[in-house]
Amino acid sequence: MYSSLLAFGYLLASVTFIVGLKMLSHPATARRGNLVAAVGMTIAVLGTIFLYEKEGEPLGNYGWIFAGILVGTIIGTVSAKRVKMTAMPEMVSLFNGMGGACAALISLVEFDHLMHMDPMVLFALAMGGGEAVAGLQGFLLIILLGLIIGSISFAGSVIAWGKLNGSIKDFSFRGQHIFNLGLLTIIIGLAAYLVIALPANPHWYFYSIFALSVVYGLFFVFPIGGADMPVVISLLNSFTGVAAACGGFLYDNKVMLTGGILVGAAGTLLTILMCKAMNRSLANVLIGSFGGNTKASGSSATGGTYKEISLSDTAVLMSYANKVYIVPGYGLAVAQAQHTCHELEKLLESKGVEVNYAIHPVAGRMPGHMNVLLAEADVPYEKLKEMEQANDEFSTTDVVLILGANDVVNPAAKSDPASPIYGMPILDVELAKHVIVNKRSMKPGYAGIENELFFRPKTSMLFGDAKKILQELVAEIKSL
């Protein structure tokens, strides 16, 4: 009775995951989709706690389980509520890493459990030949898969988190790809040997595989440039999905299987879609790491002179324009200037200037990140123009104001095949009559490459913190 009720609950939860994911991919239903999946998850978790039984035995250790869930809920809710909108991507990465760690821990405990089994039972299994051995091997294979994928996802996500918040720098050395490939080969080799040969001292192999997988996760993400982190996080996200599905195999648990594989597949597709938005292949992101070859190409674009523009000139230029485009970048988000930016937009509109925002698909730190930030500041939806739309309109635009964006307007993406961002579609701001770039300094952008745009005759630089500059600009325009 209980177990059939649980099976029904799992079925229900699996359906909510699929429906939830479907709803999440349409703007109008996205929020409800998230809730639907959350309800399904609650059913699955509560059902497991109270209804799960193995060979007639219900689960024990309720104190530990509830304490764990309580602690986890508090940590999860508080950190998710308190995180700044700008730090959202690294938060998602960290949560993903925890899921990966959870999968790896399950494998560790299950292995420990296997080792505590009566040696006689194991011996009988080994001697029983045929199906029993195949069963043991299948079991080992699944926990190894969960261990390897979970550990890589955990270690990689932590590095991605550190890179996004700036505490970990890009790091690569000569032959790193060979080193990584070798490491992966060793991991797979050890795992295959452990499963096929069932050696007498499995501990040694198992824990070595665990350690090497963590190391691999670190070195997998280390060389990949910060600007590519969203793609990496999305990829690691699908890894964790597969690791969760391993748990589904292990316990013959259909909801873990559906949820895990669903996310594994959807995550992989999402990763590819993100790469497409940058017009690059996944292999190019993973192997042609940004960090490595920037030094070579960076120097070619340097030099030349740039001109600065004063605040009052900017104010005049903008208030007497017909059409203004604002190109927001991560710099705007860091300065928390989206509200002031909205204020400027309203002020200009009241003077009869048409103001729009040009949003590059990867503006901010993740696709869609900038839309979230501007929506937070009450900027109306219809003012956010997508790249193609904006590119059509730049030729009739008087002033383009670039706020803390850099790589997404770098003409090298179109003209310089040696540039690491070559091939990425960019916003053609040069078509406009004037380009005003607000940056804190002449330092190169996130991808670490120089931007020729700043040295072009149409471009003027307006140095300073985005928020401060915008506030002063608003005051200046008011006093005109």
Partner 1 sequence: MQTLLNWIELNQSILYIVILMIFVGIEVIGRVPAVLHTPLMSGANAIHGVVIIGAIIVMGQAPADNYLALVLGFLAVVLGTVNVVGGFVVTDRMLEMFKKKK
Residues annotated as part of the active site: 407
Angle (CA) 242 243 244, round 5° = 90
Is 199 a binding residue for partner 1 by CB under 8 A? The answer is: no
Task: Give the interface segment with partner 1, choosing from 311-319, 378-386, 422-430, 468-476 (CB under 8 A).
Answer: 378-386
Token pair in block for residue 102: 């959870």
Residue of 217, 225, 264, 448 that binds partner 1 (CB under 8 A):
264
Q: How far apart are CA 229 and CA 212, in angstroms?
A: 22
255 sits near partner 1 (criterion: CB under 8 A): yes
The per-residue DSSP string of 285-336 comes to HHHS-HHHHHHHHHGGG--S--EE--HHHHHHHHHT-SEEEEEE-HHHHHTT
* Amino acid sitting at position 120: M
Shortest distance, CB of residue 455 to partner 1, whole angstroms?
Answer: 30
∠ Cα 114 259 9 (to 5°): 90
Q: Read off the amino acid at residue 413.
A: A
Buried b / exposed e over 257-272, threshold 16 CB at 10 Å, is bbbbbbbbebbbebbe
With 0-12 / 13-18 / 19 or more C-beta atoms within 10 angstroms meaning exposed / middle / buried, residue 279 is middle
Of the candidate residues 69, 117, 124, 197, the single one contacting partner 1 (CB under 8 A): 69
Query: What are the tokens at 309?
Result: 């523009």
Q: How far is the CB of 83 from partner 1 (least distance, A)?
A: 7
Per CB under 8 A, contacts with partner 1 among 332-371 are 361, 366-369, 371
- Counting contacts by CB under 8 A, is residue 17 touching partner 1? yes
In this complex, which beta carbon is closest to partner 1, that of residue 236 or of residue 462? 236
* Strand order across the beta sheet in which 323-328 lies: 307-308, 459-463, 434-439, 399-403, 323-328, 354-359, 384-386
Judged by CB under 8 A, the stretch of 89-97, 211-219, 435-443, 454-462 that binds partner 1 is 89-97
Q: Can you tell me which of 209, 250, 358, 413 binds partner 1, judged by CB under 8 A?
A: 250
Which of 324, 381, 370 is closest to 349 using CA atoms?
A: 324
Q: How far is the CB of 94 from partner 1 (least distance, A)?
A: 8
When asked if residue 54 is in the footprint of partner 1 (CB under 8 A), the reply is yes
Q: Which of residues 208-247 bind partner 1 (CB under 8 A)?
A: 230, 233-234, 237, 240-241, 243-245, 247
| Binding residues with partner 1: total (CB under 8 A) | 115
Question: Per rule CB under 8 A, is residue 76 in the interface with partner 1?
Answer: yes
CB of 389: closest distance to partner 1 in angstroms? 12
Per-residue mark of binding to partner 1, 272-291 (x: CB under 8 A): -xx--x--------------
Query: CA–CA separation, 480 vs 474, rounded Å?
Result: 10
Residue 15 in the binding site for partner 1 (CB under 8 A): no
Min. distance of Cβ 45 from partner 1 in angstroms? Answer: 6
Interface with partner 1, residue 75, by CB under 8 A? yes
CA dist list (Å): 195 to 108, 155, 190, 206, 306: 16, 24, 9, 10, 63
**Residue numbers 95-114 binding partner 1 by CB under 8 A:** 95-96, 98-99, 101-103, 105-106, 108-110, 112-113
Q: How far is the CB of 275 from partner 1 (least distance, A)?
A: 11
Closest CA to 152 of 207, 104, 223: 104
Work out how close the CB of 160 gets to partner 1 at its nearest, in angstroms, rounded to a whole number. 12
163 vs 434, beta carbon nearer partner 1: 163
Closest CA to 83 of 74, 75, 91: 91
Binding mask 392-431 for partner 1 (x = CB under 8 A): ----------------------------------------
Is the distance from CB of 24 to CB of 30 less than 8 angstroms? yes
Nearest CA to 438 out of 410, 411, 406, 412 is that of 406
If the CB atoms of residues 54 and 443 are measured against partner 1, the closer one turns out to be 54
